[in-house]
């Protein structure tokens, strides 16, 4: 074998091994892992480095409007007038208020007492209708069987622990013809949202929801610049 052929074969072997290593690394990163191996609490710890007042200002900011595109989201959800929708992780009521204005009956649910008080004040100050608040525990959506037509979870999925169990309980609270809608950040470096290590990849969300009993999925990655939307039944 000539020296030049030997060098070419060696180079080809190196490139092949390097590409295979990259593929393996990608597959390992996206492979669903056991819940016990994760540290869900870190996402909550990160968020609560800011005060509730600071978070509320951020949630209601014009900067959020630019990337969240709430009107496009409402149009994407379709006709919601007359439907009962639980907004899990309602926060300051960013989506709850808009859903109610579109004619839905909204349950603004959150684990945080201070956020619940902010929404209650908005309801009183602005004479809002079709909205009720509901304090929920960390481990349950606190829904009655078949209570709602839709559950909306925006930028909150990655904060929830034991997600397969949690969304199994959620499924029981949704009517048979209803749906779960999850909006969260791509697992990538984005100018907004939590650090990448706190974000949950789309394939992992679907894996966990399948464990929870959901069988039908519609995924949209084009409507929003930094977030995906998953509709599950």
Give me the residues of the chain with pLDDT under 70, please.
Answer: 1-50
Q: What pLDDT is recorded for position 49?
A: 54
- The predicted model scores a pTM of 0.79
129 burial class (0-12, 13-18, 19+ CB within 10 angstroms)?
A: exposed
CA dist 93 and 206 (Å) reads 26
Give 230's strand partners. 182, 219
Residues 92 and 120: beta-carbon distance below 8 Å: no
Q: Where are the domains of the chain?
A: 1-31, 38-232
Q: What pLDDT is recorded for position 32?
A: 41
The string over 16-40, giving b where at least 16 C-beta atoms fall within 10 Å of a residue's C-beta and e elsewhere, is eeeeeeeeeeeeeeeeeeeeeeeeb
The CA-CA-CA angle for residues 78, 188, 210, to 5°, reads 55
Q: What pLDDT is recorded for position 10?
A: 39
Q: Supply the CATH classification number for the domain 38-232.
A: 3.40.50.150
């Amino acid at each position: 074998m000539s020296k030049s052929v030997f060098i070419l074969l060696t180079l080809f072997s190196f490139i092949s091994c390097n590409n295979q290593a990259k593929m393996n690394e990608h597959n390992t990163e996206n492979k669903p892992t056991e819940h016990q191996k994760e540290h869900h609490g870190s996402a909550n710890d990160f968020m609560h480095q800011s005060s509730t007042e600071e978070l509320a200002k951020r949630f209601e900011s014009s900067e959020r409007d630019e990337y969240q595109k709430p009107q496009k989201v409402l149009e994407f959800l379709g006709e919601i007038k007359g439907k009962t929708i639980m907004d899990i992780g309602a926060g300051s009521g960013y989506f709850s208020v808009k859903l109610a204005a579109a004619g839905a009956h909204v349950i603004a649910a959150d684990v945080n007492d201070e956020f619940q008080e902010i929404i209650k004040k908005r309801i009183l100050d602005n004479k809002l209708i079709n909205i009720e608040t509901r304090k929920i525990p960390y481990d349950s959506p606190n829904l009655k069987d078949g209570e709602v037509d839709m559950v909306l979870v925006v930028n909150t999925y990655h904060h929830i622990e034991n997600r397969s169990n949690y969304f199994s309980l959620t499924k029981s609270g949704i009517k048979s013809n209803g749906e779960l809608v999850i909006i969260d950040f791509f697992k990538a470096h984005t100018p907004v949202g939590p650090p990448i290590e706190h974000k949950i990849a789309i394939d992992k969300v679907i894996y966990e929801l399948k464990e929870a009993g959901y069988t039908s999925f519609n995924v949209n990655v084009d409507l929003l610049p930094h977030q995906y939307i998953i509709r599950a039944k």
